[in-house]
Structure 1
Amino acid sequence: MNLVKPAANEHRSSMKSLAIMVILGLLIIVAFIISMNSGYIKLSPLQVLKTLFGGGTAKESLILFDFRLPRIVISVLVGAGLAVSGCILQGITRNGLADPSILGIVSGAGLVVVLFISYFPSTSPSSVFLLPFLAFVGASLTAALIYALAFKKGEGISPIRLLLNGIGVSAGISAAMLVLTLRMSPENYKFVAVWLAGSIWGTSWKFVIALFPWIVILLPFSFYKARVLNVLNLNEQTAAGLGAPIEKERLFLLATAVGLAGSCVAVSGGIGFVGLIGPHLARRLVGPKHQLLLPTSALAGGLLLIIADTLARSIADIPTGVVVAIIGAPYFLYLLARSKA
């Protein structure tokens, strides 16, 4: 009887978590529909419906299919990618304040992207597909530097050292980017300023196609590694006692987080806090078990960013990252204050 009751409780908990994920998915669909109707030029629900089925005017088709839909799809993909990246980093470092932007991964990816676009402008379609790879290289080099600085012989990687070195490297890259902007032309400077604010600038289907393979490969892989993240959340001695190759798995997961964050940054700019808020919201909804936490983080991140982007386009056409920062900065301070307590 004692064995049946925990099994029943676990089943109820799993069903509750599944229901939460379904609700988040439905909310994304609702936000998707609202976002199609929102923007500088208003389209009524009837106009959107007619246009979707080929009955709209040429202007309505241009607005919906060439401008809004690619941006909305990118918002969902980027939100999911950044949230899962943040969830992985929080699991690796065992620190709830870890986030791709705070650890410097976003800055490293962004620096390479900004350098490429500013100094090697290209109208070739292939350059769009090159951006996620370049962002991955920049993010990987940054992650490798952070990893090397955090590594101590005989001790391995300390999660706290990893986080603190990430913050330091992020500050250094931000300073380097500031120096570079002072030497740019007014046109390039304007682009960098908008990018740093977190504007979803890749708003065509070719950017969706460039980002999609990274998301569709790395997200399932991260879900597959959920059990490993559960083990890494234990202390080093316990994880090693369970037979987990800690450093090897940590490197695999770090590379996954870097790939997700770097590819997303290539089309979304320096949007921060999604990787912080998404996992925390998911953890409150479904608990710390990564088999549930990772997919819920993806859904929460996608929902957060599509709402933020819709508000950014509807209110004052401001960068999406500004809206996310308005939400994320106070929440980060709250988490920081609570962690000190």
Structure 2
Amino acid sequence: MTEHTVRLSVRTDKPRMRVTGTLCVLAALLVVAFFVSMNTGYIRLSPLDVIRTLAGAGTGQQELILYHFRLPRIIMSIFIGIGFAISGCILQGVSRNALADPGILGINAGASLMVILFTFAYPTNEDVPVFMVPLLALAGGGLAAGLTHALSIRRHEGLSPVRLVLSGIAVAAGLDAAMIILTVKLSPERYQYVLEWMSGSIWGTSWPFVLALLPWLVVLLPMVYRKSNVLNVLGLGDEMAIGLGAKLDRERKALMVLAVGLSCACVAVGANISFAGLIAPHIARRLVGSNHRYQLAAAGLTGALLLLVADTIGRCILQPSEVPTGIVVAVMGAPYFLYLLAKSDS
């Protein structure tokens, strides 16, 4: 099925004006969080200092702090949040399973293992070629996704959503175990690096890493949005989708490739922060409904806001030390899922 042959307009279960207002509120909250994050840190910059520095009238120290340390990290957090959230939204739509996300399906673990193996080949005093890292992460995540997909296919029945999640958990567990085994003979410096990576610490906090991730988002996000109608059709069930002319196998593979690409590019520069890909689509679905034309945008904004707030909290809660962003995201997301569990049982 292509958008030129079969188009299905799935009406959102929320009024359009309300959906538009919700997206505007999310965007406004993201802007507020952006400015708050610029003001927050071990060396605090007041809002006036930030405005003065952005206008080119700041001191050398203020320009160093804002332009070389905070802004790259803030922008990276936003990009990573968008990438993980959209990837999780795709995977949940393809599998029709609310628990699907890049972390649970083993994609992040495969990308992480490949990147860690690659960085081990470089001495600690040499910089990793950042533009190669997303390609290597894509290779590792792609292999993990292919293995998960192969294990979840039933003969004569096709893709099983339940088997997809179970296979992904098994693949992720095996790859995580392989990363742990690698730490046995590591130096303390390398061990600390792997530990921070597995905890979800954003490590690509300079402009080269931002430039390495940006092309992936620029290319893949428009392609995902073009597939929003396909995700709506797949959500109707296999029989209905086939009746509407959808080629299930081809569309699912194409969407899986997009999800893997987004997730692996984010893992390459932001470590394994997988929980954002699980919680952001849930929040987006409750805010704007099940129409992926709106849900994808809401998930991206929610994921960006979630990662930015989590990274800001992680930088400030135990100054001068930092708490990995992945841990903060997990702490923030756990109460929400406990709320969903309690509501489903009530």
TM range (shorter): over 0.9
Deviation string for 1:180-227 (max 9, x for gaps)? 111212111110001111111100000000000111111111111001
In the other structure, the counterpart of 2:61 is 59
The reply to whether residue 97 of structure 1 matches residue 99 of structure 2 is yes
The reply to whether residue 318 of structure 1 matches residue 323 of structure 2 is yes
Q: Distance in 2 between matches of 1:250 and 1:134?
A: 23
Deviation string for 1:166-193 (max 9, x for gaps)? 0110111111111011121211111000
The reply to whether residue 287 of structure 1 matches residue 292 of structure 2 is no
Give the % identical residues: 53
In the other structure, the counterpart of 2:8 is none
Q: 1:194 to 1:238 in 2, by over 3 A?
A: same
- 2:334 counterpart (321, 329, 338): 329
Q: Distance in 2 between matches of 1:164 and 1:126?
A: 34
Q: 1:44 to 1:109 in 2, by over 3 A?
A: same
- 1:129 partner SS: coil
- What is the CA-CA distance between 1:157 and the residue it aligns to? 1.2
Alignment-mate amino acid for residue 51 of structure 1:
T
In the other structure, the counterpart of 1:135 is 137
- What is the CA-CA distance between 1:99 and the residue it aligns to? 1.2
Alignment-mate amino acid for residue 322 of structure 1:
I
Q: Distance in 2 between matches of 1:124 and 1:209?
A: 19
The reply to whether residue 32 of structure 1 matches residue 37 of structure 2 is no
In the other structure, the counterpart of 2:7 is none
Q: Distance in 2 between matches of 1:10 and 1:292?
A: 8
Query: Is this contact kept in 2: 1:97–1:335, CA < 8 A?
Result: no
TM-score (norm 2): 0.92
Deviation string for 1:92-148 (max 9, x for gaps)? 110111111111111111111111112334877771001111111111000001111
Query: Is this contact kept in 2: 1:282–1:293, CA < 8 A?
Result: yes
Q: Distance in 2 between matches of 1:27 and 1:280?
A: 18
TM-score (norm 1): 0.93
Q: Distance in 1 between matches of 2:131 and 2:343?
A: 42
Query: Is this contact kept in 1: 2:119–2:128, CA < 8 A?
Result: no
Q: Distance in 2 between matches of 1:168 and 1:331?
A: 25
Alignment-mate amino acid for residue 203 of structure 2:
W
In the other structure, the counterpart of 2:168 is 166
Query: Is this contact kept in 1: 2:12–2:288, CA < 8 A?
Result: no
- What is the CA-CA distance between 1:325 and the residue it aligns to? 1.0
Gaps of 5+ in 1: 1-8
- 2:232 counterpart (230, 233, 236): 230
- 1:214 counterpart (191, 213, 216): 216
- 2:86 partner SS: helix
- 2:132 partner SS: helix
Q: Which moved more, 1:144-153 or 1:298-307?
A: 144-153
Say what the alpha-carbon RMSD is for the aligned residues: 2.1
Q: Distance in 1 between matches of 2:106 and 2:38?
A: 33
In the other structure, the counterpart of 2:203 is 201
Gaps of 5+ in 2: 1-10
Q: Distance in 2 between matches of 1:339 and 1:185?
A: 47
- 1:127 partner SS: coil
Answer 1 or 2: which has greater helix percent.
Answer: 1
Q: Distance in 1 between matches of 2:119 and 2:343?
A: 40
Alignment-mate amino acid for residue 333 of structure 2:
G
- 2:193 counterpart (191, 194, 206): 191
Alignment of 1:37-56 (within 5 A): 37-56=39-58
Query: Is this contact kept in 2: 1:272–1:324, CA < 8 A?
Result: no
- What is the CA-CA distance between 1:340 and the residue it aligns to? 8.3
Q: 1:12 to 1:331 in 2, by over 3 A?
A: closer
Q: Distance in 1 between matches of 2:310 and 2:166?
A: 29
Query: Is this contact kept in 1: 2:13–2:289, CA < 8 A?
Result: no
Q: Distance in 2 between matches of 1:322 and 1:124?
A: 28
Query: Is this contact kept in 2: 1:76–1:303, CA < 8 A?
Result: yes
The reply to whether residue 250 of structure 1 matches residue 255 of structure 2 is no
Alignment of 1:269-280 (within 5 A): 269-280=271-282
Query: Is this contact kept in 2: 1:272–1:325, CA < 8 A?
Result: no
Q: Which moved more, 1:182-191 or 1:280-289?
A: 182-191
In the other structure, the counterpart of 2:4 is none
In the other structure, the counterpart of 1:4 is none
How many residues matched?
334
Q: 1:22 to 1:57 in 2, by over 3 A?
A: same
